[in-house]
Structure 1
Amino acid sequence: MIYIQENSNDPMYLQIYNQVKKDIEQGNIAHGERLPGIRTLAQTLGIARNTVSQAYTQLAVEGYIQARHGSGFFVMDTSSEFTEKNYVPQDIKALSTQKSELKKPVILYDFQYGTLPYEQFPFKLWRKYTSQILLSSQKEVVNHYPDKQGDLFLREEIVRHLYKSRGMVCSKEQIIIGCGLQYSLNILCTLLRKENNIIAMEEPGYNGARDVFINNNYNVHAIPASKDGLILSSIHCSNACAAYVTPSHQFPYGTVMSIVQRKELLNWANVNDAYIIEDDYDSELRYDANPVPALHSLDAEDRTIYIGTFSKSLSPSLRVNYMVLPVRLLKRYHSLFCSHSSPVSWLTQRVLAAYMREGNYERHIRKMCITYKRCHDIFIQEATKMFDKKVILHGRGAGVHFVLEFPGGEEQDWLIKQAEKVGVKVYSMIPFWNDRNECPRNIIFIGYSLLNEQQVREGIALLHSAWFNALT
C-alpha cells in the first residue's frame, strides 16, 4: 500500500518511487508482478497521472521495473548472486576504530620533506591575478578543454624562466604541463617503450619515480649513488632506453654531478640511442653558489628530457610541473596523445602565467632561498655544536633536506624510535633503495621545509638528548 503525506518535504513522485523501490528490494513485491496502472494508481491516490508516471519512469531507468507495451509495468529481478552470496562488506567502522585506538606519539617537531609553511604562499597576489583573469576577456575559455600540452601563456613564461635561470634554450612547442612528476613519467613510459623496457636509475633514488617505472612494467637498472656521487660505469652495459637522474642535487644524498660525469652520460645516451630524464626538482634552492647549469643546457644531441616543478618553490598542492621534450620525440607524443587534455586547471595555469610574467616568481624564489638558507645554516650550526663528530651531514648547500650518517653505528630504527619518544619525527632512508637490503642502517633522512629557525634549534636539541644522552 502506498501512502502520500501532504506535509512531507519530499515531492509526491519521490514518495511513490521510494515506497515501491523499498517493497521491491525487501521482496514485498515479487519478480514478475504487475504494478497498478498509472491511471488506476493516480485515481486511488487522488493525484495527477504525471506524478505517477514520473515515479514509474525513474524506477524503470534504474532497472527496478520494465514497461511492456500494452501490458503495463512489471517488476524486474534485482537479485545478484555476487552481492547476495559472495560479497562480504568490510566493517569500515571497526577498521577506523582499530586505527584510532593505536597510540600515536605526540610530534612537536616534524623534520619532514616536501610540505611548505602556508604563510609562504603568495595569497594576496594569487587573489589579485585570479580576479583579474576572471573579470577579463580571457575568461571566455574557462569552459573549453585545455590544450594537451597546457596553457600557451604559461608555456611561454616557462621558456623565458628556463633560459634565464637554467641556461636552457627551448621552445613553447616542447613544453608539456603536467600535474606532477608521476604524470610526466607515465607519459614518458609510453613514449620510450621498447621490447626490452629497461630504465637506469640512481640507487638510492626517488621512490616515487621508481614506482611509476615498475608499474609500467619497466625493469630498473641501478646506478650506484653514494655521498661521493654516481658510479656510471655500470650504465654502459645496461641496455637501458633511458636514465633517470637528479644531477643538480642528487636525491637523497645531495651531491652534484660533475662536468666529467655529465659529459659521460650525454655521450652514453647519444651512442646508445637512449635518453636522459633530468629531474631538476629543487634547482632553485641553492645557497653556497649559483644554481648549477642544467644537464639539458650541455646537450647538443637533443637527448635530454628535462622535468621541472613548482612544488618545492611555490606549492605542492597546485599540482603543476612541466617537462621539455626533445624535438625528436614530439611527433610520437602528438601521435600517441592526440586526444588528451591537460590535467591542470586552466585557471591555475593562467594565474601562474600572470604571476610569472611580472617577475613575481623570481622574487618569490629569492625570498624562499633567504628563508631556507637561514634554516639550512642554523641546522648545520646546531648539529655541529650538538653532535660534533658523532654525526656526519650529507647534502649541504642546497635543497631542504640532509642525510645524517652515524659513524658510531647507531641504527635508523632505534634512532627513529628514540626521536619519537621526545616528540621529534625523523625518517628512514630504506624506501629510497630498490634493493632495501643494500641500505646502510646507520643513516636517516631529515628535512626542514616545515620548520622555522627556532624550531630547528629546539628540534636538534631534543634529538641530541634522545640519541646521545640515551647512550650514556
Structure 2
Amino acid sequence: MPVVLALNPDDKRTLQTQVFQELRAMILEGRLRSGDAVPGTRVLSEQLGVSRNTVVLAYERLYAEGYIETQANVGTFVSSILPEAAMSSQRGNTVGGERVLASENDDETSPIDRLLVHKHERADGRRLKADFWIGRTESKLFPKSEWRKIVETKLRHQTDSMSVYGGPEGLETLRAAVSDHVGPSRGISTNFDNVLITSGTQDGLTLLAMAFKDKGYGFLHEDPCYLGALALFTAMGYASKGVQVDNQGIKIDELPKTGKWIVYVTPSHQYPIGSTLSLERRFLLLEWARKTGSYIVEDDYDGEFRYDGAPLTSLRGLDQTGRVIYLGTFSKSFGPALRLGYLIANPKIMHPLRDWKQLISNGTGWMKQAAMAEFIHSGGYRRHLRRIRTAYMKRRDCLVSGLHNLFGDCQIVGETAGIHISWSLPAKYGSPSLLEKSALLNGIGIYRPETGGAWISKQNKSFSQTVVMGYAAISEAKIESSISGIDDCLRGLEK
C-alpha cells in the first residue's frame, strides 16, 4: 500500500525522525488503520529517495512502540493493538477489532461509550485460533437433547400460556425452582416471593439502578470491576467511587465511613482478578452496610463453578438484616444468549423492582422460563452442572499446569473457582500489552484487565503485570498449543 510522506530536507529533525513521526501521525489520525499494510523498507526508501537504513531505523522505532507489526513471509502492517488505543477510546480505537475502555479514568467520555463488543477476531478480520476472552462458555456442552424435549412438551401442552402476559416477577414455578436450587448450592434460605426473574445480570442491574435512582445513594464498586455495571450506573447519573481489591477481595478499610451507597461486589470470584472475598471481610462488609444504611449487590456471575474446597457461604446467605441483593445468572451454565437470570432481595426492595420490570419489559419470555423450571425440577440442571464442571476443571488444570511449566512458580489467582484465571507476567518480559499484541499476531487472544471487559483506575498499579484468561470455551488441545504459542511470543520479549 503506497503512502504519501512529506519529508523536508531543511527540517532540523533527522530524516529517520521525520519518517517515524509522519507514519505515526497517519496511524493516529486514522489515515492508516489497524491491519492496513505499509510499504516495505526497500520500497519506501526508493519512493522517498532516502537510504534504506533510514527507513529501517524508523520502522524499528514504530515496531518497538507498538505502531506496526510484521508477519513472516507476508509483510508489515499497522498494529492490531495500538498504544493510544489502550489509553483513549474517544477516537474509536480498537483492540483486535473492538472498542476498549481506557486503563484510567476519562471524565470526558461516558463509560457506556467504552463498552466492549468482543468479536473474537483480529483487526484484519481473521478469526483467532484460540480466544481466552473472559466469560465465554462451551456451546458444544449445551444439553440440546434434554432441552429440546422439554420445549417440545411445553409447546404441545401449554401453548395457551403464550397468549397472555405473565407476572413481571416471572413464573412462580421457576422462582420456586431457583429458591430450591440456591439453598444447598449457595447457602441462601429464601422462598419464591423473594425471587425475580431477569433477562440476565445486566437486566437485574438496570432494575436496581432504576429502583434506587434519586434516593440519595452513591455507587461503590471494586477496582478493578466489571465494566458493564459501572457503565450502567454512571450513565444513570450515579456518583461512583472505586475501592481497590487484593487477594482477599475488596478492601473493607477503604470503604467510606459515611453516606448511603450501593456497593457492587463479586465476592465468589472477583471480576476480573479472580480472588475470593474472605469470610472475615464478608462479615465486615455486612456490618459496614448495616451501619451506613447501604445495600450490597452481590453478583454471583460464575458461582456455579467451584473446583477445590468447599465454597464460602454467599453474602446473601450470611445476611441477617436484608442488606444484600443477590444476582444470579444462567449465562455461564447455559450460555449468555439464553438471556435468563434471577435476583433475590427482601420484600421492601422487591416491590419497586417488580414495578420497574413491568415498566421496562413486562416480564421475561414464558418459554425459556417454563423450560428452565422443568429442567431444574427434573434434576437435569444438576446433572448438566456436574458435566460441565468436570469439563471446565480439566481445561482449568490444563491451563494452570501449562503456565506453571512455562514460568515455574507462576503467580496465579482464581483457579479454585469460576471459568477464568489471572496471572502475573514476570517483569523480565516487559509490559503485558506487548505480550497481548504479540499473541494476537499469532492468533491467540489473551488480555489485560482493561482490555478484557473490566474497568481499572489509572492510580491502581497493583495489577500492572496482570493477564486474564478465560478457559471454558477452549479445548485442552488448543490450550496446550496456545501455551506453546505464548512461549514463542515470550522468547521474543525477554529482556
Q: Name the TM-score, length of structure 1 as normaliser.
A: 0.74
| Matched position secondary structure for 1:349 | helix
* Residue in structure 2 matched with residue 397 of structure 1 by the alignment: 416
Q: Is the 8 A contact 1:221 1:240 kept in 2?
A: no
Amino acid at match of 2:144: F
Q: CA deviation at 1:353?
A: 0.8
Aligned residue for 2:239?
Answer: 219
Match of 1:107 in 2: 128
Cα deviation for residue 435 of structure 1 reads 2.1
Deviations 1:96-125 (A, max 9, x none): xxxx99634552111122222221001101
State the shift of 1:208 in Å: 1.1
* 1:231 positional shift: 1.0
Q: Does the CA contact (< 8 Å) of 1:310 and 1:321 recur in 2?
A: yes
Conserved in 2, the CA contact under 8 Å of 1:179 and 1:320?
yes
Given the alignment of the two structures, is residue 118 of structure 1 paired with residue 151 of structure 2, yes or no? no
Q: Tell me how far apart the structure 2 counterparts of residues 338 and 417 of structure 1 sit (CA, whole Å).
A: 45
Match of 1:427, SS state, is: coil
Query: Number of aligned pairs?
Result: 371
Q: Is the 8 A contact 1:174 1:325 kept in 2?
A: yes
In structure 2, C-alpha distance between the alignment counterparts of 1:229 and 1:286, rounded to whole Å:
17
State the shift of 1:339 in Å. 4.7
1:315 Cα deviation after fit: 1.4
Cα deviation for residue 286 of structure 1 reads 0.7
Letter in 2 for 1:392: Q
Q: Residue 221 of structure 1 contacts residue 238 of structure 1 at CA under 8 Å; is this kept in 2?
A: no
Counterparts of 1:249 and 1:140 in 2: how far apart (Å)?
41
Shift of 1:270: 1.2
Once the two structures are superposed, residues 355-389 of structure 1 have per-residue CA deviations (whole angstroms, 9 ceiling, x without a partner) of 11100101111111111111111111111112224
What letter is aligned with 1:114? G
* 1:273-422 alignment, distance < 5 Å: 273-334=293-354, 339=359, 341-389=361-409, 391-408=410-427, 410-422=430-442
Q: Is the 2:257–2:292 Cα contact (8 Å) retained in structure 1?
A: no
- Pairwise CA RMSD of aligned residues? 2.1
Partner amino acid, structure 1, of 2:419 = V
- What is the CA distance between 1:213 and its match in structure 2? 0.9
Aligned residues of 2:223 and 2:460 also touching (Cα < 8 A): no
Native 8 Å contact 1:174 1:326 kept in 2 = yes
CA contact 1:387–1:464 (8 Å) conserved in 2: no
Instruction: Say if 1:184 and 1:323, in contact at 8 Å, map to a contact too.
Output: yes
Q: Note if contact 2:154-2:371 (Cα within 8 Å) is conserved in structure 1.
A: yes
1:451 is paired with a residue whose SS is coil
Summarize the alignment of residues 110-149 of structure 1 with structure 2, pairs less than 5 Å apart.
110-136=131-157, 138-149=158-169
Q: In the alignment, is the contact (CA less than 8 A) between 1:202 and 1:224 conserved in 2?
A: yes
Check conservation: 2:168, 2:354, Cα contact below 8 A: no
* Cα distance in 2 between the residues matched to 1:470 and 1:270: 50
CA distance, structure 1, for counterparts of residue 122 and residue 284 of structure 2: 54
After superposition, what is the alpha-carbon deviation per residue over 1:135-192, rounded to whole angstroms, capped at 9, x for unaligned? Answer: 11x2211121221011111111001001121121112111111112121111111222
**Displacement of 1:462:** 0.8
Aligned residue number for residue 15 of structure 1: none
1:156 corresponds to? 176
Task: Pick closer, same or farther for the CA change 1:315–1:166 going to 2, 3 Å.
Answer: same
Specify the alignment match of 1:87 in structure 2. Answer: none
Find the counterpart in structure 1 of residue 470 from structure 2: 447
Instruction: Output the amino acid matched with 1:460.
Output: I
Which blocks of at least 5 consecutive residues in structure 1 are unaligned? 1-99
1:214 CA displacement: 0.7
Q: 1:236 aligns with which of 248, 252, 256?
A: 256
Q: Secondary structure at the match of 2:408?
A: helix
Code of the residue aligned with 1:242 in structure 2: it is I
1:438 counterpart residue number: 460
| CA–CA separation in structure 1 for the residues paired with 2:307 and 2:362 | 34
> Please, which of 189, 194, 217 is the counterpart of residue 169 of structure 1?
189
CA contact (8 A) 1:402 1:447 kept: yes
Local SS of the residue matching 1:142: helix
| Contact 2:198 2:342 (8 Å CA) reproduced | yes
Q: Deviations over 1:261-293 (max 9, x none)?
A: 111111111111111101011111111113321
Calculate percent identity across the aligned residue pairs: 27
Equivalent residue number for residue 41 of structure 1: none
CA distance in 1, matches of 2:423, 2:398: 15
| Cα distance in 1 between the residues matched to 2:255 and 2:213 | 18
Alignment of 1:195-274 (within 5 A): 195-237=215-257, 239-274=259-294
Question: Following the alignment from structure 2 to structure 1, what is the Cα–Cα distance between the partners of residues 318 and 379?
Answer: 26
Q: How far apart in 1 are the matches of 2:378 and 2:185?
A: 16
Do the aligned residues in 1 keep the contact of 2:166 with 2:366 (CA within 8 Å)?
A: yes
- Partners of 1:374 and 1:101 lie apart in 2 by 28
Residue 257 of structure 1 aligns to a residue whose secondary structure is: coil
Change in CA separation of 1:412 and 1:309 when aligned onto 2, cut-off 3 Å? same
